[in-house]
Amino acid sequence: MGRVWHQNAVIYQIDPSRFYDSNGDGWGDIRGIIQKLDYIASLGVTALWLTPFYVSPRRDNGYDVEDHLSIDPRLGEPEDIDWLLAEARKRDMRVIIELVAQHTSDTHYWFQEARKNESGPYRDYYLWSKNGGPDEPRPMFPTVEPHIWRWDDEAQSHYRHLFYHHEPDLNLANPHVLHEVDRILEHWVEKGVAGFRIDAASHMVEQAGNGDKEKGYRFFNHVHALLERHRPELMLLGEVDVNVDEFTHYFGDGDRLTTLLNFWINKNIFLALARENAQPLVAALNELPLPPEHGGYCFWLRNHDELDMEDLSEEDFNFVMDKYAPDENMRIYGRGIRRRLAPMLDGDERHQALAHALLFSLPGTPAVRYGAETGMGDNLSQPERESVRSPMQWNDSPGAGFSTARPECFVSPLITDGPFGYQKINVEEQLAREDSLLHRIRRIAETWRTLPEVCYHHFHPFTVPQQSVFAARYQGEGYATLMFANLSAEPVVVELGELNLQEAVEILADEEYPPVSRELALNGHGYRWLRLR
């Protein structure tokens, strides 16, 4: 099976406002990303995922979009995106951007017009109710926004907002709204983006189908068909936090979303890490339906949102929360954890490297959040999910190499003290140290890119007697790759039974090991990848 690029991509997720400030105003910007492209490429990255850079009041990190076709002037000039796309292409990197079309900002022209006139053309762009209604679906941020209907004086009606009250929900069943979404997609595809991360994709299905899910799924048939005419290899990466048995509806017959962000696996990665037992992760992987030939799953450790632990059993939920979020201030929305990976693993570089080796052992596309490669921490003094959205720490100079502006002008505060302060955790320090986390993750990513067989269609998980060891086999044509990851701090010897690996070539390991035969040694938090014909 010939793979398409996004089945073999290493994705690096960047918040443009917090990555690198090129002009000294305290905000990261598109030109800042351009200046750091060589660094990003050196990590083995092949695709950038940019969080929203559109005009926005930025009360929700840019997901409150005011104009889908224009760049926020704080983040750059209109031509900067063209420049970024051209420079990325020179380095064989692609750029994925966000389609945020489940809602808009309440400052959007459409909503401002909709409020003014009940019989005007824009009123039906949003969802209204004279008397409000039940909180169905449930609010997304129940501890912050307990209801999904809000009274608007000017409109003399309630409007629906699943997210924040300043983000009214779009009526995706309205053909005029669908036409607007088409216009947005075509605009960015013509510029040369390689794909879209579709925000709140499962809620879009509800809205597009007006409650009829079958009809709602066809929204993605429409998007797929529209984009295939322009660029058949585009990635449509859906934020789909639904039950596993619904996944096939989002893939369709390869004619809807190409790739699903897999929240079920994300939860089970952390359950497995917390219990030092691979079994929950293997069980979760075995539940996944086979994606279409050119489709797949995207896996990650931490992203820009909370680590959502809903859907685990009560016992597992409590175990993970007690281990990784022991303080109430580390928890959010009654369901998740608002921390980055490094502090959850006590800053242990070997443990973080093991977590990334595990991520790259999974049968799909790995996505890494900016700063994860250096073990960046979180800032729990910031509200809600802002805790995991600190500026990138480049070096130990004032401003952390992120910006030359005065710190009070920064888009958000730096992490200045404690074990994760920028003086200790930064790119410059990591680059200088041969065995650093950054170098380990770079080796993992670069090795992974040489393995064309790693995808769900060639995945054969197998269990070994040692419960702390995750083991995966990928069967290519004439060769196979075996991956082992020890989730425990204690070293183990894996009994291989009938499996004879004397001919195997070790292609990656956390450190040097004796040759493998009938058994395989692994350090505490160790990992080894082997290739055999």
Active-site residue set: 199, 239
**Which alpha helices (DSSP H) does 155-260 contain, by range?**
175-191, 201-208, 213-230, 247-251
Q: If residue 115 lies in a helix (H) or strand (E), which one and from where to where?
A: helix 109-116
Apex 377 CA angle, 373 and 383, nearest 5: 130
Element (H, E) at 32: helix 30-35
Q: How many Cβ atoms are within 10 Å of 439's Cβ, its own excluded?
A: 16
User: d(Cα 50, Cα 47) in Å, to the nearest integer?
Assistant: 10
Task: Give the ranges where 236-388 is alpha helix by DSSP (H).
Answer: 247-251, 263-275, 279-287, 314-324, 341-344, 349-361
Tokens encoding 168: 């009214």
Token output for 478: 């004439």
Report which DSSP code applies to 408.
G
Angle at CA of residue 243, ends 241 and 247, nearest 5°: 80
Chain-centroid distance of CA 528 in Å reads 25
Q: Which residues contact 322 (CB under 8 A, 6 or more apart)?
A: none
DSSP per-residue codes, 421-456? STTTS-HHHHHH-TTSHHHHHHHHHHHHTT-TT-SG
**Tokens 């269609």, residue located:** 457
H/E stretch holding 530 reads strand 527-532
Of 501, 495, 472, 489, which is closest to residue 526 (Cα–Cα)? 489
* Cα 114 from Cα 111, distance rounded (Å): 5
Q: Do the strands 54-55 and 67-71 form a parallel or antiparallel pair, or are they unpaired?
A: antiparallel
Determine the longest span between alpha carbons in the chain, in angstroms. Answer: 76
Tokens of 106: 């309440």
Element (H, E) at 165: none
Find out whether 169 and 161 touch, Cβ atoms under 8 Å: yes
- Facing residues of 245 across strands? none
H-helix segments, 36-101: 37-42, 78-90
Residue pointed to by tokens 């890119």: 449
| Strand partners for 529 | 483, 508
